[in-house]
């Protein structure tokens, strides 16, 4: 994969992004621990909502399709991605896949009971993130659900050396929890729950205390570590934000 040229401020073309992600996901082998943690959070939120016996589920920005495969255990899952989804279709034949620009797709209106979008929003230009949310709103059935994960801007900016060093993807436009809430609410979603996952990453500012090994060891000694970490996740100090919303 070719790393992004940081010397250029121009937004990569859709064709360039298509080529990048097709190459990235064609070489995919296994999900990593961060991906597993985010998927677990998605599944926890799925236990909190009422879906039809055979729900129609969309994995919006499905990448290699591994998450679509898991969602396909709970309903008819369709993965949509900018990249070439042919490899994903071959790996997971019980699911359906579409290769399309998710901002310009031709999916039918009110097609899905649940839309899941993991780590996609941040790869949309800031000026197009409202349109991205409206697209998810468009394909959801009335009172359908959205579960979305995205990097936490506050945490990413508190990583020593800068969170951008973690990624060579063409576009990175992170949001804070209040920004994410505002984005979804103004585009027709009601927030049902928001939390964060993956503690212990950032080192700057308040994170220096929250993620201190000495502080956590003390909390563990007092039998309060679980409560301490749960509070930190609910206060959105994790690496990724996870939100459950409903189409209004």
Alpha-carbon gap, residue 41 to 148, rounded angstroms: 10
Write the CB contacts of 196 (distance below 8 Å, at least 6 apart in sequence): 152, 155, 177, 233, 234, 235, 236, 237, 238, 239, 240, 241, 242
The model's pTM is: 0.92
Check if the beta carbon of residue 58 is closer than 8 Å to that of residue 73.
Answer: no
Average confidence (pLDDT) per 10 residues, the chain, 248 residues: 46 88 89 96 97 97 97 97 95 95 80 97 96 96 97 95 81 97 98 98 95 96 97 97 97
CATH class of 14-200+231-247: alpha beta
Q: What is the reported pLDDT for 9?
A: 57
Check if the beta carbon of residue 37 is closer than 8 Å to that of residue 198.
Answer: yes
Q: What is the reported pLDDT for 167?
A: 79
Check if the beta carbon of residue 78 is closer than 8 Å to that of residue 68.
Answer: yes
């Amino acid at each position: 994969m070719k790393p992004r040229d940081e010397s250029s401020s121009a937004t990569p073309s859709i064709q360039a992004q298509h080529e990048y992600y097709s190459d990235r996901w064609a070489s995919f082998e296994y999900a990593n621990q961060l991906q597993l943690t985010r998927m677990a959070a998605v599944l926890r939120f799925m236990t909190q909502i009422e879906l039809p016996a055979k729900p129609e589920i969309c994995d919006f920005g499905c990448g290699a399709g591994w998450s679509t495969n898991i969602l396909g255990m709970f309903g008819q899952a369709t993965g949509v991605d900018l990249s070439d989804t042919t490899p994903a279709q071959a790996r997971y034949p019980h699911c359906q896949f579409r290769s399309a620009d998710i901002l310009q797709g031709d999916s039918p209106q009110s097609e899905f009971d649940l839309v899941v979008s993991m780590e996609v929003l941040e790869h949309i230009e800031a000026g197009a993130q409202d349109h991205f949310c409206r697209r998810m709103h468009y394909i959801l059935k009335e009172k359908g659900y959205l579960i979305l994960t995205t990097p936490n801007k506050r945490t990413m900016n508190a990583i020593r050396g800068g969170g951008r060093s973690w990624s060579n993807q063409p576009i990175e436009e992170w949001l804070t929890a209040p920004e994410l809430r505002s984005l979804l609410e103004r585009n027709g979603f009601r927030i049902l729950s928001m939390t964060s996952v993956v503690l212990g990453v950032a080192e700057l500012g308040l994170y220096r205390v929250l993620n201190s090994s000495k502080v956590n060891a003390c909390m563990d000694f007092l039998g309060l570590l679980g409560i301490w970490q749960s509070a930190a996740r609910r206060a959105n100090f994790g690496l990724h934000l996870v939100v459950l919303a409903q189409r209004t």
